[in-house]
């Protein structure tokens, strides 16, 4: 049976780093990968077919990537058929996966189609993620979207926690800082936990420290908590 990993996490949480690293360790993550942008100069390591598929479903529901806790995502028969086609195209790979932050919103959907699916979810503190989004986007856009950034962090990670409650043995929740400090141990954990055969490769082989801002941003964090009072509890549940 193929081993399949979904690599995901809220946008700006380190998912590109995780995907690049696991690709280096021997995980097939696709041939058509989203190219580098100025906001992600090393590349996204994101299978464009999965990304476009999930983005299209969100668009069909009148949504972008900043999905809020109350937003509904409806799926249709043609969505399942299209997803099955993506899976079938990769059935010859012994261990494969894909990276897309939007997968946080579709974990249950994919689990129905791939019963042996495992998920590696990376997360960062909401203050760091929102700071990264503010820094990436034009000032007027960032000002307009500040509350949406906060609510999207909440939605993505709440969906992850719900999946973890249903499938505790099929998910690895890891804070980005832990990846940077314990990468070789994490590969061993993935291999042993799910009988996958990835090579040991330190994340430092693909990590450029100057591209990652790891500040605390107390004022911005407090702003996030005012905009979404339950966000602190969600973060505590992730690290528990």
| Per-residue pLDDT reduced to its tens digit, 93-144 | 999 999 999 999 999 999 999 999 999 999 999 999 999 999 999 999 999 9
Q: Within 13 A of 16's CA, how many CA atoms are on the CB side?
A: 18
Question: Tens of pLDDT along 145-181?
Answer: 999 999 999 999 999 999 999 999 999 999 999 998 8
Radius of gyration, alpha carbons of the chain: 17
Residue 66, both tokens: 């900043």
pLDDT value of position 76 = 98
| Per-domain boundaries in the chain | 3-125+168-212
Angle, helices 126-136/218-227, rounded to nearest 10 degrees: 100
Provide the whole-model pTM.
0.94
Q: Is residue 238 over pLDDT 80? A: yes
Q: Which architecture, in CATH terms, is 3-125+168-212?
A: 3-Layer(aba) Sandwich (3.40)
Enumerate the H helices of 7-138 as residue ranges: 15-24, 48-60, 77-88, 107-113, 126-136
Q: Any idea what DSSP says for residue 203?
A: G
CB 100 within 8 A of CB 54: yes
Give the pLDDT band of residue 35 (cuts 50, 70, 90).
Answer: confident
CB 224 within 8 A of CB 150: yes
Question: Average per-residue pLDDT in the chain?
Answer: 95
């Amino acid at each position: 049976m193929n081993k399949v990993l979904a690599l995901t996490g809220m946008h700006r949480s380190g998912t590109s780093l995780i995907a690049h690293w696991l690709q280096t360790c021997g995980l097939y993550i696709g041939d058509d990968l989203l190219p580098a942008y100025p906001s992600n100069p090393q590349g996204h390591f994101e299978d464009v077919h999965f990304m476009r598929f999930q983005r299209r479903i969100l668009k069909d529901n009148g949504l972008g990537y900043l999905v809020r806790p109350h937003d509904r995502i409806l799926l249709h028969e043609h969505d399942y058929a299209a997803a099955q086609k993506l899976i079938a195209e990769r059935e010859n790979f012994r261990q494969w996966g894909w990276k897309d932050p939007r997968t946080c919103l579709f974990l249950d959907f994919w689990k129905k189609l791939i019963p042996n699916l495992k998920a590696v979810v990376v997360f960062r503190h909401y203050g760091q993620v929102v700071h990264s989004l503010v820094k990436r986007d034009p000032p007027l856009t960032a000002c307009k979207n500040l509350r949406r950034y906060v609510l999207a962090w909440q939605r993505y990670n709440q969906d992850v926690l719900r999946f973890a409650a249903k499938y505790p043995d099929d998910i690895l929740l890891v804070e980005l800082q832990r990846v940077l400090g314990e990468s070789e141990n994490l590969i061993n954990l993935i291999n042993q936990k799910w009988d996958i055969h990835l090579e040991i490769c330190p994340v430092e082989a693909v990590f450029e420290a100057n591209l990652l801002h790891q500040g605390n941003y107390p004022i911005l964090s407090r702003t996030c908590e005012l905009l979404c009072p339950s966000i602190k509890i969600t973060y505590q549940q992730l690290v528990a």
